[in-house]
Amino acid sequence: MNIILLGPPGAGKGTQARKLVEERGMMQLSTGDMLRAARTSGTEMGKKVADVMDRGDLVTDEIVIGLIREQLELGHAEGGYIFDGFPRTLKQADALGELLVEMGETLDRVIEMQVDDEALIQRITARSTCGSCGEVYNDDTKPWPADGKCANCGSTDQTRRADDNAESLNTRLFAYYKQTSPLIGYYHASRDLASIDGLQSMDEVAQQIKDVMA
Ligand code: AMP
């Protein structure tokens, strides 16, 4: 089963995608993670997108569609794909549809995670992640352990994303409402869109996702 997790920054797409990877052996395709990896490894593309990402704007459709194409060309994922943070524009959605047909794949569910702006701002400005395993922490609700080590993997590499600040977040939210939220109508019209309440606890959200994937 191939699914899209659709939602604004901070909706919990990455957290839920990681759970699905662990529990169902699905493959997470996060364009945000791929772009950050390109930056860390210092590729030309990574350098090109750095400023755009830090500002909170979207990188070009060509770049992210190329990244997804490369991944899909590696071969079929037995457990299915989770598209996380992709597509983000109507052009990307069209391109994904075409790519899936080309690869003989289907799109089975588009899951919209709804979270109001106030909660998103709280989550993002308090967010840190483990640089090693990707576990997500929140200064208020799930602080980084006092012994300095990630509770999941023991790494001491607590990181904060350069774009997790109030100014970039404004731009990212604006980009979401302007360029990405039209996809809700797009998938409502053409696919099996399910909307879930992303404000509940991580386990409750995971249960809702399970229900709509059943
Ligand atoms: P994310 O980790 O999904 O929040 O993405 C972080 C940043 O990467 C975004 O703010 C964009 O600058 C860029 N990005 C990630 N995915 C896409 C996409 N599908 N289209 C355009 N830009 C993207």
pLDDT in tens, 138-152: 999 999 999 999 999
Q: Which atom of ligand 1 is nearest to the CA of 30?
A: 3
The reply to whether 24 belongs to the active site is: no
Q: Report whether 144 contacts 189 (CB < 8 A).
A: no
* CB neighbourhood size of 25 (10 A): 11
Residue nearest to atom 15 of ligand 1 (CA): 32
pTM of the model: 0.94
Q: Is 48 a catalytic residue?
A: no
Round to whole Å and give the CA distance between 204 and 114.
13
Phi-psi region of 12 (alpha: psi -120 to 50; beta: other; left: phi over 0): left
Per DSSP bridges, beta strands 109-114 and 81-84 are unpaired
List pLDDT tens digits, range 149-205. 999 999 999 999 989 998 999 999 999 999 999 999 999 998 779 999 999 999 999
**Amino acid 51: pLDDT:** 96
| 88 carries an active-site annotation | yes
Asked if pLDDT for residue 124 goes beyond 90, the answer is: yes
